[in-house]
Amino acid sequence: MLGATAGATGVAAWQYKGARGLLKLPAPDDSAGTGELLPRFASTDGGLVIGSHADIGVLEPRETRVWRGPSAPHLVAGGAGHALEGAAAAGRDGRVVFGAGTSAGRRPWYWLADHDHAAFIDGAPAGTRFRIGGASADGNLLAGSLQKPAAGSGAESWETFVWTPFTGLVELRAPINGLEPEVAAWQDLAVLGVSADGRRVVIGDHPDSVNGGAGRLALLRLTPRNW
């Protein structure tokens, strides 16, 4: 269990580890990062914790940091030293983490804890807005939505996608069009959940769409393609 508590001296991040009780996570030993540092994901054994800076009450995570044991958390950076922002999903053991931006702009990424290695997810035009919806338990599948020009108009719409190391980024419009006509006609969609095995994805109205909050949901079953 992870959490943070606000006090007179600021916000303290903590981790609950069963018999060991509540353990305070060390604060960063530098001044990098904007807002409070909040823990978000942890490995199965609790030895690895991933967090991100954010203002309290704002759901826009910024710089990503990693705690390993009792050490102060280190900043996770990608190519050219840009801080990786918006950590939004992780595999069950916390060793694969996904996010949707960097300090240099919008670009989705993944980070591998075992090698402390980060890489970018390609397959969409530069500057595309992304929303991470979830990941499979083993971290081999990421699902979310991206904003792109709507077919036949200059307006932009949100389309869902999945990504795996084997397939790259694959939009889900084709399988959605194979559902019943009412669902196939939906626009501005978001991924709202992913099953542990990555073979089922819950889609629905994107929060930023005109239908945001309408509550429409559909279950999309994926045919494995080496994932």
Residue 72 has pLDDT above 90, yes or no: no
- Decide which of 208 and 30 is more confident: 208
Proportion of the chain above pLDDT 70, given as a percent: 79
Residue 41 has pLDDT above 80, yes or no: yes
Residue 227 has pLDDT above 50, yes or no: no
Selection from 18-32, 70-84, 197-211 with the highest mean pLDDT: 197-211
Name every residue whose Cβ is closer than 8 Å to that of residue 111 and which is 6 or more positions away in sequence. 64, 76, 84, 96, 97, 98, 99, 117, 118
Chain centroid to Cα 133, Å, comes to 6
Q: What is the pLDDT of residue 93?
A: 85
Residue 196 has pLDDT above 90, yes or no: yes
Query: What would the pLDDT profile of 73-117 be if each residue is shown by its tens digit?
Result: 887 877 666 778 878 888 988 889 998 876 556 778 888 988 888
Residue 53 has pLDDT above 60, yes or no: yes
Query: What would the pLDDT profile of 135-151 be if each residue is shown by its tens digit?
Result: 999 999 999 998 876 66
- Decide which of 27 and 144 is more confident: 144
Residue 134 has pLDDT above 90, yes or no: yes
Chain centroid to Cα 15, Å, comes to 20
Q: How far apart are CA 204 and CA 185, in angstroms?
A: 12
Average pLDDT, the chain: 79
Residue 61 has pLDDT above 70, yes or no: no
Q: What is the pLDDT of residue 81?
A: 65
Q: What is the pLDDT of residue 160?
A: 92
- For 43-52, 148-157, 180-189, which range has the lowest pLDDT when averaged over its residues? 148-157
Q: What average pLDDT score do residues 115-122 get?
A: 82
Name every residue whose Cβ is closer than 8 Å to that of residue 37 and which is 6 or more positions away in sequence. 11, 13, 27, 28, 51, 52, 53, 65, 73
Q: What is the pLDDT of residue 57?
A: 55
